[in-house]
Amino acid sequence: MQRRQPDWRAVRALVLDVDGVLTPRQIVLHGDGGDVKFFSVRDGRAVKSWIAAGRPAALLSARQSPATARRAGELGIEVVVQGCADKDDGYQRIRLQLGVSDEAVCYLADDRTDLRVLSRVGLPVAVADADPLVRLAALYVTDAPGGDGAVCEVVERLMRRQGLPCPRDAWRTGGWGDHAGQPARAGGESSHVA
Ligand SMILES: [Mg+2]
């Protein structure tokens, strides 16, 4: 059976897993209950450009973290589902909020808990360092690993294929600035985040 080809032009909404996709696979936990996540500046810039082009984005995470909510706010991502035991259920809520069909969704993932969602969407994508089963389920596997340019790679490809102004081009002309790439500590008390 021939594998279907990814249809980049059909995508209208970007749904992103957080841990292992927007961040590297490791999570730093503090004894006081907070956590630290590392986000890519490049990925952030790309997401902003996607949203600025009138395309929605959403975050889907099984974990609950203030750092995720904070990053979503920085990037202008309005639809965020966190702390869902069943990611498929979380995805359905996102899809209804965005008002799009499965075929119009691109989902970026890295782990086996994402497999059901990946099987639903029009464009399932795995990051380079995803679980082997996830890479197998995806129609596209990024060159970049999670937390280090995978999201940017996908957004740039989507925007080019759809004839939208590419983030890389916008960066050259001074747009899409994002200076919040330092580690964001949960709880908001950190002084090292601009
Ligand atoms: Mg993950």
Residue 145 inside a domain? The answer is: yes
Please give the distance, rounded to the nearest whole angstrom, from the Cα atom of residue 185 to the centre of ligand 1.
Answer: 19
Write down the pTM of the prediction: 0.85
- Ligand 1 mean position, distance from CA 113 (Å): 8
Q: How far is the CA of 139 from the centre of ligand 1 (A)?
A: 17
More confident call, 157 vs 31: 157
d(CA 180, CA 139): 31
Report the share of the chain in percent with pLDDT over 90: 76
Could you tell me the distance, in angstroms and rounded to a whole number, from the CA of residue 108 to the centre of ligand 1?
9
Report d(CA 58, CA 188) in Å as an integer. Answer: 22
Task: Answer yes or no: is pLDDT of 168 > 90.
Answer: no
* Number of domains composing the chain: 1
**172 alpha carbon to ligand 1 midpoint, in Å?**
31
Decide if pLDDT at 188 tops 70. Answer: no
The yes-or-no verdict on residue 179 having pLDDT over 70 is no
pLDDT at 108: 98
- Is 37 domain-assigned? yes
Q: Which pLDDT score is estimated for 175? A: 45
Tell how far the Cα of 173 is from the centroid of ligand 1, in angstroms. Answer: 33
CATH number of the domain bearing residue 39: 3.40.50.1000
The answer on pLDDT for 186 being more than 70 is no
Cβ atoms of residues 2 and 137 within 8 Å = no
Phi and psi angles of residue 106, each rounded to the nearest 5 degrees, phi first: -110, 125
How far, in Å, from the CA of 156 to the mean position of ligand 1?
A: 21
**Is 193 among the domain residues?**
no
pLDDT of residue 4 exceeding 90, the answer is no
62 found inside a domain:
yes
- Cα(34) to centroid(ligand 1), Å: 19
Q: Determine the angle formed by the axes of helices 66-75 and 41-52, rounding to 10 degrees.
A: 50
- How many angstroms is it from 61 CA to the middle of ligand 1? 7
Which residue range(s) make up the domain with 155? 8-185
Among residues 158, 162, 166, which one has the least CA distance to residue 45? 166
Region 62-74 average pLDDT: 95
Q: Could you tell me if residue 190 is inside a domain? A: no
Confidence check: pLDDT of 180 > 90: no
Task: Please report, rounded to a whole number, the percentage of residues in the chain having pLDDT higher than 70.
Answer: 85
Ligand 1 center–CA 174 separation, angstroms: 32
| Distance in Å, CA 63 to ligand 1 centroid | 9
Distance in Å, CA 40 to ligand 1 centroid: 15
The pLDDT of residue 74 is above 50: yes
Beta strands in 33-156 (DSSP E): 35-37, 57-60, 79-81, 105-109, 123-126, 140-141
Q: What is the pLDDT of residues 104-146, one digit of tens each?
A: 999 999 999 999 999 999 999 999 999 999 999 999 999 999 9
pLDDT of 184 reads 43
Measured in Å, residue 141 CA sits from the centre of ligand 1 at 15
| Band (38; pLDDT cuts 50, 70, 90) | very high
The average pLDDT across 36-56 equals 95
CA distances from 130 to 5, 126, 140, 192 (A): 20, 6, 12, 30
| Distance in Å, CA 184 to ligand 1 centroid | 18
